[in-house]
Amino acid sequence: KQEVTQIPAALSVPEGENLVLNCSFTDSAIYNLQWFRQDPGKGLTSLLLIQSSQREQTSGRLNASLDKSSGRSTLYIAASQPGDSATYLCAPDSGAGSYQLTFGKGTKLSVIP
Amino acid sequence: GAGVSQSPRYKVAKRGQDVALRCDPISGHVSLFWYQQALGQGPEFLTYFQNEAQLDKSGLPSDRFFAERPEGSVSTLKIQRTQQEDSAVYLCASSLEQARPAFFGQGTRLTVV
């Protein structure tokens, strides 16, 4: 069974700092990995999707990398802003079907103005 | 609609009561997913529909849980004889074609007392 670990569980940084969120997973037989953002009381917003054939994906200030063989992914956020404050969730698919995402517990990010 | 809509947003049920949670996916979206998110945890897969067909229900925790999507649009997740461990946020997601959750609703927070 896929297990996903996200480190750190919580992170507080001053505005403007660059930061890295880490995700590790136990089963490397995945097709894709997604990073989501969750704001309190709201649903999930998909940030980046990395296919297993890719090494990284970029969207604006966000860059996600994937090392499938070692079971690791990182989300890099450049020049953090208070609006980036949220919980960030990593979700590789199960390999049995891309709809079966396995989520980590998330990293709660606070960006201090 | 503009997004995935779930109702009610909050539900308090007495232990043993039956509940029904509704999901209105984005119009025209073929795929629909239900996830369960316990407090402090990442979402966990429950079930997946393609149109009206329930292709995977392997994540439903017990036979007290039942999901349907009779006309291939609105879906209902029913929980019979609710237990305290059913307390969680129930998230619905839909996507246009791909078998991967793309847009999530805000969720229904179920509290069983």
Measured between CA atoms, the residue of chain A closest to residue B6 is: A43
Interior/surface letters A36-48, b for 16+ CB within 10 angstroms, e for the rest = bbbeeeebbebbb
pLDDT in tens, A46-93: 999 998 888 999 999 999 999 999 999 999 999 999 999 999 999 998
Check residue A45 and give its pLDDT: 94
Closest in A98, A99, A106 to B42, CB measured: A106
Distance from CA of A33 to the nearest CA of B (A): 11
Average pLDDT over residues A33-48: 92
Average pLDDT over residues A15-34: 93
The one-letter code for the residue type at A69 is S
What is the average pLDDT score of chain A?
Answer: 93
Nearest to B21, CA basis, from B70, B93, B61, B79: B79
pLDDT range class, residue B94, cuts 50, 70, 90: very high
Q: Does B4 touch chain A (CB under 8 A)?
A: yes
- Joined tokens for residue A36: 């989501």
Q: Residue A98: pLDDT above 90?
A: no
Check residue A95 and give its pLDDT: 62
Q: Does B38 touch chain A (CB under 8 A)?
A: no
pLDDT in tens, B49-80: 999 999 999 999 999 999 999 999 999 999 99
Answer whether B99 sits within 8 Å of A106, measured CB to CB.
no
Chain A residue numbers touching B103 (CB-CB < 8 A): 46
DSSP bridge pairs for A87:
A38, A108
If one compares A98 and B18, the residue with the highest pLDDT of the two is B18
The four Cα atoms A37, A39, A42, A48 give a dihedral, to 10 degrees, of -10
Q: Is B71 helix (H, G, I), strand (E, B) or coil?
A: coil
